[in-house]
Amino acid sequence: MYDLINEGPINTWHESEQPREKLSTKGVNALSDSELLAIILGSGFKSKSVVAVARHMLNVHHNKLHVLANQSLTDLKKFKGIGTAKAVAILAAFELGRRRELEAAQEQKTFKSSNEMYQYLKPLIGYLEHEEFWVVYLNNANKILSSVKISSGGLTCTVVDIRVIFKQALQLSAVAIILAHNHPSGNVSPSKQDFEITQKIAIAGKQLDIAVLDHIIVSSNNYYSFKREEEMPEI
């Protein structure tokens, strides 16, 4: 269990500095990450304020919200003062944020750049702790017909079945596809295997007259585009 530094109970603070009152009077943008998290938690315990609990949780996770968001229910409950109800509230809040991000990306009608596609892919696979391989199927206007998870694996590898990719493409009458997978490590540099599978899929696509437009490697805060880096195979 993680320990806490001392800080007085929040009801001893000046009202203008208490998170809920501060939000009411100054607006949500005036609050720090720890104050927003404190509102989700609702209360601290004994002599520890809820802001102290929230600040400590963020500090342990390097003050990175996406790192905290990737914690499991069990991990969150290791913090003193965090039971099931509070841990569930944290996970629910982060999931709502992820769904909002995905919803906004899905409203994009067509995709004209690798960055636009990254914004679509990030809430799907950018925050995962295991590797997944997805294919985005497009029509001739570059509008998404479907996005399909092809496979998932451990932290370092995933297996891709090319037959599954193009069976789905033919069923959807897709004219083009974009390959995507995540690197949970955060390092989006492509591996030798990434280059090899990209070439194999591009060759298969050429035979079926289905264009492989890009292969995007995704993390929570960065991406690598084979097309942008001019690394797509010339078939």
* pLDDT tens for each residue of 194-208: 999 999 999 999 999
Amino acid identity of residue 117, one-letter, is M
The answer to whether 39 and 24 have CB atoms below 8 angstroms apart is: no
* pLDDT tens for each residue of 16-44: 678 988 999 999 999 999 999 999 999 88
**Residue ranges covered by each domain of the chain:** 10-101, 109-225
Long-range contacts from 107-111, C-beta under 8 angstroms, 24+ separation = 109/143, 110/141, 110/142, 110/143, 111/138, 111/142, 111/143, 111/144
Distance CA 69, CA 90 (A): 8
Give this prediction's pTM. 0.71
At 70, is the pLDDT very low, low, confident or very high (cuts 50, 70, 90)? confident
* pLDDT tens for each residue of 214-223: 999 999 999 9
Please say if the pLDDT value at position 157 is more than 80.
no
Specify the CATH number of the domain 10-101: 1.10.150
Amino acid identity of residue 64, one-letter, is K
Q: Which CATH superfamily is domain 109-225 in?
A: Cytidine Deaminase, domain 2 (3.40.140.10)
Please say if the pLDDT value at position 81 is more than 50.
yes
Q: Measure CA of the first residue to CA of the last residue in the chain; give whole Å.
A: 55
